[in-house]
């Protein structure tokens, strides 16, 4: 009898535990647009890799997730935040680019059977790096990484794609190499909100993992797009547009200018970062963690000009 009671208690405990997945805190930055603010840290077990700005948009008939987060745990929390606000189907999970902190929560939405939407080059990037990213996340997060796995996109964007959420149209654009070679942006026509993901870093140092020259070119196009507000991949949950892109443009331009100069004067790739964009050090969080590798990547790109 006692054994049975215990077994029931365990089952109830498990069910209750699942039902009580804590909703991720989110801010409604415009009507029906909710964003969770990532912390300015490296991924760790304590933060569950919840370091990027992620969120969702609610239309009259459906919900779109824009980046499911950095782990299964964070994705589950985001899903709970959606379910606390609407019963509408989660029809799209948009994966803005290959980086784990943005898309590793995707498996938490599998049972909703959404379309997972990504850049046409995202499948290739996942094939190349996915396994390594999962291993790295497991070693960093330990048990907090449980449930995290690669989800491949089921709907690809090679140029432009409109998604209809019911009286609410989202325009997705696939960009050329910039932050990565598979960056997507989302424009909500209803509120003129421009979700730039990691094409826009605010406060936290931009990471160059696609093309420095390409990113500067994309910024020219992006900043020419009028919008009432923007959502950066890292930084505040909403920022003025295009003014908020200025520090990023200044940093990237300084890296381009000084790296070209370092190459010209014969400074080697290993030490180049010490001579590049030093004026920017005080302007960014995590500068010393990411600046040297940004310069190394830029050096490799620019030395063939
Ligand atoms: Zn990124």
Place of tokens 């909100």: 193
Instruction: List Cα–Cα distances, 30 to 33, 34, 77, 189, 244, in angstroms.
Output: 5, 8, 21, 12, 17
Residue 146 has pLDDT above 90, yes or no: yes
Residue 12 has pLDDT above 80, yes or no: no
Q: Give distance in angstroms: CA of 43 to centre of ligand 1.
A: 13
Q: How confident is the model at residue 2 (pLDDT cuts 50, 70, 90)?
A: very low
- What is the crossing angle of helices 246-264 and 287-302, to 10°? 50
Beta-carbon contacts of residue 182 (< 8 Å; ≥ 6 apart): 97, 98, 118, 119, 120, 121, 122, 124, 125, 174
Q: Give distance in angstroms: CA of 3 to centre of ligand 1.
A: 50
For the entire predicted model, the pTM comes to: 0.92
Q: Give distance in angstroms: CA of 206 to centre of ligand 1.
A: 9
Q: Give distance in angstroms: CA of 204 to centre of ligand 1.
A: 11
Helical ranges in 57-103 per DSSP H: 72-83, 100-103
**What tokens were used for 273?**
């970062």
Q: Give distance in angstroms: CA of 297 to centre of ligand 1.
A: 15
Q: Give distance in angstroms: CA of 179 to centre of ligand 1.
A: 7
Report the C-alpha gap between 48 and 29 in whole angstroms: 24
Instruction: List Cα–Cα distances, 29 to 23, 33, 34, 35, 201, in angstroms.
Output: 17, 6, 6, 7, 18
Q: Give distance in angstroms: CA of 86 to centre of ligand 1.
A: 29
Report the C-alpha gap between 219 and 199 in whole angstroms: 8
Report the C-alpha gap between 151 and 123 in whole angstroms: 10
Q: How confident is the model at residue 234 (pLDDT cuts 50, 70, 90)?
A: very high
Q: What is the mean pLDDT of residues 130-152?
A: 93
Q: What is the pLDDT of residue 162?
A: 98
Residue 218 has pLDDT above 50, yes or no: yes
Q: Give distance in angstroms: CA of 266 to centre of ligand 1.
A: 31
Tens-place pLDDT, residues 160-171: 999 999 999 999
Q: Give distance in angstroms: CA of 138 to centre of ligand 1.
A: 19
Q: Give distance in angstroms: CA of 80 to centre of ligand 1.
A: 24
Tens-place pLDDT, residues 196-205: 999 999 999 9
End-to-end CA distance of the chain: 78
Residue 283 has pLDDT above 80, yes or no: yes
With contact defined as beta carbons under 8 Å apart, do 48 and 141 qualify?
Answer: yes
Q: Give distance in angstroms: CA of 207 to centre of ligand 1.
A: 7
Q: Give distance in angstroms: CA of 12 to centre of ligand 1.
A: 39
Tens-place pLDDT, residues 41-65: 889 988 988 999 999 999 999 999 9
Q: What is the pLDDT of residue 268?
A: 96
Residue 225 has pLDDT above 80, yes or no: yes
DSSP characters over 30-53: ETTEEEE---SS---TTTTT--S-
Q: What is the pLDDT of residue 20?
A: 67
Residue 1 has pLDDT above 80, yes or no: no
Q: Give distance in angstroms: CA of 234 to centre of ligand 1.
A: 9
Tens-place pLDDT, residues 235-272: 999 999 999 999 999 999 999 999 999 999 999 999 99
**What tokens were used for 42?**
């490296």
Residue 212 has pLDDT above 80, yes or no: yes
Burial environment of residue 226 by CB neighbours within 10 A (0 to 12, 13 to 18, 19 or more):
exposed
Q: What is the mean pLDDT of residues 206-224?
A: 98
Using alpha carbons, select from 63, 57, 69 the residue that is nearest to residue 21. Answer: 69
Residue 278 has pLDDT above 90, yes or no: yes
Q: Which residues are found with C-beta within 5 Å of the ion, ligand 1? A: 99, 198
Residue 281 has pLDDT above 70, yes or no: yes
Average pLDDT in the chain: 93
At residue 70's C-alpha, the angle toward residues 58 and 281, to 5°, is 105
Q: What is the pLDDT of residue 48?
A: 86
DSSP characters over 228-256: SEEEEEESSS-B-TTGGGHHHHHHHHHHH
Q: Give distance in angstroms: CA of 9 to centre of ligand 1.
A: 43
Count of CB atoms situated within 10 Å of the CB of 240: 12
Beta-carbon contacts of residue 170 (< 8 Å; ≥ 6 apart): 57, 64, 162, 163, 164, 186, 187, 188, 189
Q: Give distance in angstroms: CA of 183 to centre of ligand 1.
A: 9
Q: What is the pLDDT of residue 269?
A: 97
Q: Give distance in angstroms: CA of 182 to centre of ligand 1.
A: 10
């Amino acid at each position: 009898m006692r054994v049975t009671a215990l077994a029931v208690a365990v089952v109830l405990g498990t069910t209750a535990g699942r039902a009580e997945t804590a909703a991720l805190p989110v801010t409604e930055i415009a009507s029906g647009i909710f964003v969770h603010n990532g912390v300015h840290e490296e991924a760790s077990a304590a933060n569950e890799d919840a370091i990027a700005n992620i969120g969702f948009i609610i239309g009259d008939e459906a919900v779109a997730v824009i980046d499911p987060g950095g782990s299964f745990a964070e994705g589950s929390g985001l899903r709970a935040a959606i379910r606390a606000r609407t019963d509408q189907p989660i029809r799209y999970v948009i994966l803005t680019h290959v980086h784990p902190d943005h898309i590793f929560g995707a498996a938490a939405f599998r049972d909703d059977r959404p379309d997972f939407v990504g850049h046409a080059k995202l499948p290739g990037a996942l094939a190349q790096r996915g396994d390594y990213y999962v291993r790295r996340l497991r070693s960093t997060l330990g048990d907090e990484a449980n449930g995290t796995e690669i989800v491949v996109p089921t709907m690809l964007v090679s140029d432009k794609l409109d998604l209809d959420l019911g009286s609410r149209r989202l325009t997705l654009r696939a960009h050329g190499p910039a932050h990565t070679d598979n960056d997507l942006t989302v424009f909500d026509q209803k509120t003129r909100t421009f979700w730039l993901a990691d094409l826009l870093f605010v406060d936290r140092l931009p990471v160059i993992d696609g093309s420095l020259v390409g990113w500067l070119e994309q910024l020219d196009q992006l900043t020419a797009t009028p919008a009432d507000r923007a959502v950066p991949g890292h930084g505040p949950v909403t920022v003025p547009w295009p003014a908020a892109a200025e520090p990023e443009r200044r940093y990237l331009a300084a890296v381009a200018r000084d790296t070209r100069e370092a190459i010209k004067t014969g400074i080697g790739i290993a030490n180049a970062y010490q001579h590049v964009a030093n004026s920017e050090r005080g302007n960014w969080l995590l500068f010393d963690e990411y600046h040297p590798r940004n310069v190394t990547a830029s050096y490799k790109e620019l030395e063939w000009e």
